[in-house]
Amino acid sequence: MNSLTKLSLPGLGIMAALMLPLAASATADELRWGASRDIDSLDPYSYGSTFTISTLNHVYEGLVRYDDQLKIEPALATSWDDISPGVRRFHLRQGVKFHDGAPFTADDVIASLTRVSDPKSPLRGNLPAYQGAEKIDDYTVDIKVTENYPLILNDLTNILIFDKEWLVANNATAPTDVGAGIEGYATTHANGTGPFKVVSRKPDAETVFEANKEWWDKPRHNIDRIVFTPISSPATAVAALLSGQIDYMERAPLQDIPRLKQSPGIQVLAGNELRTVFFLFNRADKLVASDTGDKNPFNDAKVREALYRAIDIDLLQKKVMRGLSRNTGSMVAPAIPGYVPELDERIGHDPEKAKALLAEAGYKEGFSFTFVCDNNVYVNEEEICQAVSSMWSRIGLKPNLDTAPTSIQTVKFESGKFDVGILGWANEPMIDSYSILVQVAHSKTGTSGVFNWGGWKDAEVDQLIDSASKELDREKRLALQSKALMKLKQNVDFLPLHQQPMAWALGPNVKSVVQLSDNKSRHWLTVLNK
Amino acid sequence: MHIDEAGQMGRMALWRQRLSEAWDSDLAYSFRGSPTALISALILLIVALTALLAPVIAVQNPYDLTQLFLDKAELPPIWSDGGESPYLLGTDVQGRDVLSAILYGSRISLLIGFASVLASMAIGIAVGLICGFAGGHVDNLLMRVGDFVLSIPTLLVAILVSALFRELLPVNLRDACAPLILMASIAITSWVQYARIVRASAMVEARKEYVLAAKILEVRTSRILLTHILPNVMTPVLVTATLNLGLAILAEATLSFLGVGMPVTQPSLGTLIRIGNQYFFSGSWWVVLFPAFQLGLIILVVNLLGDWLRDALNPKLQ
Amino acid sequence: MISMVLRRIGNAVAVMVAVAFVAFMIFQFLGDPVQLMLNEQASQAERDALRIRLGLDQNFVMQFMLFITRALHGDFGISYRNQQDVMSLIAERFPATLELVLVSTIIALSIGIPLGVYAAIRKGSPIARLLTMFSMIGVSIPSFVIGILLILIFAVQLNWLPAFGRGDVVHFGSWTTGLLTPSGRSALVMPALSLALFQISFIMRLVTAEMLEVLRTDYVKFARARGLPNRLVHFRHALRNCLMPVVTMTGMMIGDLIAFALVTETVFQWPGMGQLFVQAVMFIDMPVMAAYLMIVSAMFVTINTIVDLIYLWVDPRLRQAGAARGYHAH
């Protein structure tokens, strides 16, 4: 026995050495951000991802930005005026420096706009009306857009500005081309003008930002460092917040909110996002994987209505969304221009009527179809899709649910390999219903209908959208857009569910954050307890 | 009539005799003497029976979407506040009865476990016999393949095979084929052991005189293999199989937990733990703990039985 | 002897070529990289250009040769998802995995060996039975279940240990270690324990079995007969004799553990290469999957070959027989 204790000593010694310093602590000026996912890259032009771009907005800035009321305010441009219906002149802020010390000038704006509108740029769609740019002097730039295009300022909030010299020196003037087999310099390095600089980055593990002391704007934050850690399992992130390992999470799981609220020092900020989540139908001649043969039942409005009526949205809201989502009949949130209250009324939940509609359409016995959902984009997405599958199966349908991460599902969506799918649209950064109309509802023509994954087409809707794109009078334009939205609703072209909830959780170290309905983290407005 | 009765009596006597012989055999003696083995066998029997009878005894078929009711979601076990009959162990976030899900999940876990062990055993025995008997280039080639399989960590192979098969299949077949894919991905990583055991014995047996005699008498090779060599190697093969059963069940659970196994619409125990984990800290402990307990219990009793069997058949250790 | 050594090394190389072939096939048949890499607006000309750049226009054998040549230079291409060099992604993650594996191996050895010895010399005693039962439970409970329970108890309820991650790390060139910082050490406790549990049980059972075998041998009986104290017999003679298989088994297990760590890494969000692999599987990121497969297999094969060679060196009987040592089963 004596020898036994002797032998175990090294083991116990190691355990003791490991366990001695137990409490995890942060320095007071550090914000430890447990993010629901990693940013895709340090290059804001690498993916059209709202999360990536809004996070990189801490490092890079646009010519204009949204203030804490979601109104557009000057950023790298101080003012702008219309030169002609297709040209807008921007006066740039002077004395702004990039993180490497280089001054910000008109050349940087031109280089950035060229880069973002490159044919290989995945962000090209975010600047649909862009025609070209011209340097007038070092601090003046003219941007050309299609005539009478009303939303260029909204678009520009999302176009972050690079330093031209830095791009040239590092051979990064064009967007990264994965196929070329070489890394893009901007994928792993960053040099912006924003309130924070990138100190280090390990994909999927940790990205560290530190405050930019030379920032041109007067900082409202008091943060020295942000440690950004993606935590893919929400449960782990909650455990980390409860144990004081992180200070902030931008996606608190809905089911954990009661527990988080009860914990001392933890605040939960919950509200409704601008993002509306809805289902899409494949409208090709036949379905991808179904027992309907050469027919596509979804081309019949009765069938679409049946699927709509089968959904018990109140139950879904209560159980899956924990009462935090806003049920809607509209494709856009109330805060989005173009919304009118009539849009919001849902077609009632009525399984019997749904069955009758199916029978009327000739599918009394139901039919099978592929139901494609992501599992990592929208709030409780996988649970929504499972619950809805169950509701659909109760009216006799046989959905085959296929869930996977969005990068896999997007390929299926883009190639039309789905029968019913899910999509959420926040109308960002435009904050106008024109966004969803032109990108989702419009038929696939030219730059329109990029997200028209199911091949739907309604000539009347297309025409309304096209007229809106040339209408400078805001009221008239919004009336056209509302009419188009109403048309989509009458045809049951899409199946809206809700405006999804957002929930941020703050640890005891955080005094205040600014949460807007676009659900973007803006830590240049965050104040820590000191 | 009389004759029939007598025949029946005779048959019964024969059976009784066989039973008592079995009862008196060394193995049975050792079994009776080992409370661990007895209890483990009893538990495994109960688990297997309830799993097998799941469609009869479960209050709900958790794979049938029409039977899941969202308004019954996340009910706690029946003995706590808010618990509801007939949901004995509560429900998960989709309104799935946890007990029914455990019964059906155990069915899948046991099915995949047994099937993959049987499959790897069949492959292993076939390869081992061929190698041991044929020798030469065939032997060399097959054993190299075996070396290769063993030189990649099994978990890695299973994940890759499982994930890649899933990607290759059309989506409407994917869920239906999930158990088959899992079984295959576990089986192809574990046949080598059997092949090695069988090959070694077959090589020894092949040189013995009775086999030579049989060869001279022009008995078919397959007959020699099956009637003479195979019975001689079955003991170590069966011991290995029992010990591997626990590992196979564990492997299935791990793959499902990682998200490359059984889909959410047909959860196995590993899938249930993965889903439930998201609701664990918010207080719905029953969604995780009960399936986890069942999984641990199954693997434990299978391992205990395997351990006992190995010791009982290995006189050196007694 | 030299021919034996060469043969073992030859085998290892052959296995690696086969692994490379499998990795290459993953590329070939799963997902057209061109489809995955370009956005939908890409024209046919752009697609063809990319095809040529990736070498996809060449024949199968040429492509395989190209793949191997690149792999030998550590060039596994660019991750589809992170758009970063795969090799450097993996290299960055490797220290975390190795640290986890080594620490849990040390924990397992220093707990498993003494317990195993005890279970052997006190065979039949209540404590020994309890230990045997414990080891049985240890190999039966899935490590992810242990991990979830540990997090619930020590991070959420008691708030003693961090729930995820690696804490602060210290850099030595491209190497990182968490062992030198308090937060790094406390972050290591739960992952290392949950990974070690299976090993503890495994080593304990191995030591018990080997000890029992050795204790039955004649020379131990002689030693006892000579009146040597039990302690001396147990530790100087018996234990020493069964350490060799324990050490080799442990060595071989390290390869397996590196792969198995991916479960622990997933549960604890440990930033190692296993986590990278699991993410890659989820996102069908072929270059990362292929590279991980090859790198882990290479480590596994190298360790096994070294263990084989040590065996050859230690046990001269094997040199003549040339018989392949049976692989362990676990």
Distance (Å, whole) CA C47 – CA C251: 47
Whether B202 and chain C come into contact, CB under 8 Å, resolves to no
A256:B281 CB<8 A: yes
Cβ contact A374:A381 at 8 Å: yes
Which residues touch C260 (CB under 8 Å, ≥6 apart)? B153, B155, C143, C195, C198
Whether C156 and chain B come into contact, CB under 8 Å, resolves to yes
C297:B153 CB<8 A: yes
- Whether pTM exceeds 0.90: no
| 3-state SS track over chain B | CHHHHHHHHHHHHHHHHHHHHHHHCHHHHHHHHCHHHHHHHHHHHHHHHHHHCHHHHCCCCCCCHHHCCHHHCCCCCCCCCCCCCCCCCCECCCCCEHHHHHHHHHHHHHHHHHHHHHHHHHHHHHHHHHHHHHCHHHHHHHHHHHHHHHCCCHHHHHHHHHHHHHHHCCHHHHHHHHHHHHHHHHHHHHCHHHHHHHHHHHHHHHCCHHHHHHHHCCCCHHHHHHHHHHHHHHHHHHHHHHHHHHHHHHHHHHHHHHCCCCCCCCCCHHHHHHHHHHHHCCCCCHHHHHHHHHHHHHHHHHHHHHHHHHHHHCHHHC
* Average pLDDT, consecutive stretches of 10 residues, N- to C-terminus, chain C (330 residues): 81 85 73 52 59 66 78 78 82 91 92 88 85 86 90 85 84 83 88 91 86 78 74 71 77 83 91 88 81 87 82 62 37
Which residues partner with A423 through β-bridges?
A278
C183:A19 CB<8 A: no
Distance (Å, whole) CA C184 – CA C175: 14
Domains in chain C: ranges and CATH: 2-72 (no CATH), 86-319 (1.10.3720.10)
pLDDT at residue B7 in the model: 64
Q: What part of C 116-155 touches B (C-beta under 8 Å)?
A: 136-137, 139-142, 144-145, 148, 152
C156:B281 CB<8 A: yes
Q: Which H or E run includes A521?
A: none
Whether A240 and chain C come into contact, CB under 8 Å, resolves to yes
Count of C-beta atoms within a 10 Å radius of residue B250: 26
Distance (Å, whole) CA B185 – CA B9: 49
Distance (Å, whole) CA C231 – CA A131: 88
Distance (Å, whole) CA A87 – CA A105: 19
Extract the tokens encoding A26: 């942060």
Which residues touch A266 (CB under 8 Å, ≥6 apart)? A241, A242, A260, A505, A506, A507, A508
B174:A234 CB<8 A: no
What letter does residue A88 receive in the DSSP assignment?
Answer: E
Which residues touch A36 (CB under 8 Å, ≥6 apart)? A230, A231, A232, A234, A237, A249, A250, A251
* Chain C residues touching B317 at Cβ < 8 A: 209, 212
Give which of B60, B68, B70, B96 to mutate to test A binding, by max A Cβ within 10 Å.
Answer: B70
Q: How many Cβ pairs within 8 Å bridge chains A and C?
A: 155
What does DSSP say about strands A196-202 and A206-211: parallel, antiparallel, or unpaired?
Answer: antiparallel
Which residue does chain B place closest to A312, by CA atoms?
B70
Phi–psi pair at A30, nearest 5 degrees:
-110, 135
**DSSP, residue by residue, A219-285:** P----SEEEEEE-S-HHHHHHHHHTTS-SEES---GGGHHHHHHSTT-EEEEEEEEEEEEEEE--SS
CA-derived radius of gyration, chain C: 24
pLDDT tens, chain A, 530 aa long:
344 333 344 444 444 444 444 444 455 689 999 998 888 889 988 777 788 899 999 999 999 999 888 889 999 999 999 888 889 999 999 999 999 999 999 999 999 999 998 877 777 777 878 899 999 999 999 999 988 788 889 889 989 999 999 999 998 888 876 555 567 889 889 999 999 999 999 888 889 999 999 999 999 999 999 999 998 888 888 988 988 889 999 999 998 998 899 888 999 999 999 999 999 999 998 888 888 888 899 999 999 999 999 999 999 999 999 999 999 999 999 989 999 999 999 999 999 999 999 999 999 999 999 999 988 889 999 999 999 999 999 999 999 988 887 777 877 888 888 999 999 998 887 888 998 998 899 998 877 887 898 999 999 999 999 999 888 888 999 999 999 999 999 999 999 999 999 999 999 999 999 999 889 999 999 999 87
What does DSSP say about strands A140-145 and A87-92: parallel, antiparallel, or unpaired?
Answer: antiparallel
A4:C161 CB<8 A: no
Distance (Å, whole) CA A202 – CA A188: 9
Phi–psi pair at B310, nearest 5 degrees:
-60, -45
Q: Which H or E run includes A494?
A: none
Which residues touch C286 (CB under 8 Å, ≥6 apart)? C26, C27, C30, C31, C33, C80
Which residue does chain A place closest to C51, by CA atoms?
A179
Q: Sheet with A77-84: list strands edge to edge.
A: A77-84, A87-92, A140-145, A130-137
The chains in contact with chain B, meaning 3 or more Cβ pairs closer than 8 Å, are A, C
Min CA distance, C268 vs chain B (Å)? 13
Please list the ranges in chain B whose pLDDT falls under 50: 1, 316-318
The chains in contact with chain A, meaning 3 or more Cβ pairs closer than 8 Å, are B, C
Which residues touch C52 (CB under 8 Å, ≥6 apart)? none
pLDDT at residue A56 in the model: 95
Would you give the end-to-end CA distance of chain B in angstroms? 51
Q: What part of C 39-58 touches B (C-beta under 8 Å)?
A: none
Distance (Å, whole) CA C328 – CA C246: 12
Extract the tokens encoding A124: 């090209």
What does DSSP say about strands A420-425 and A368-374: parallel, antiparallel, or unpaired?
Answer: parallel
* Chain C residues touching A232 at Cβ < 8 A: 269, 279
Which residue does chain C place closest to B302, by CA atoms?
C140
What's the sign of the alpha-carbon dihedral A34, A36, A41, A42?
Answer: negative
Q: What part of B 174-193 touches C (C-beta under 8 Å)?
A: 192-193
Min CA distance, B176 vs chain A (Å)? 10
Give which of C148, C159, C164 to mutate to test A binding, by max A Cβ within 10 Å.
Answer: C164
Three-state SS at A60: coil
What letter does residue A195 receive in the DSSP assignment?
Answer: S
pLDDT at residue B23 in the model: 65
Distance (Å, whole) CA B155 – CA A109: 51
CA A14 to chain centroid, in Å, comes to 46
Which residues touch A334 (CB under 8 Å, ≥6 apart)? A341, A344
What letter does residue A104 receive in the DSSP assignment?
Answer: P
Closest Cβ opposite residue C140 in set B150, B244, B246:
B246
Extract the tokens encoding C61: 């054998």
Extract the tokens encoding A330: 């509209």
| Total count of residues recorded for chain A | 530
What letter does residue A103 receive in the DSSP assignment?
Answer: B
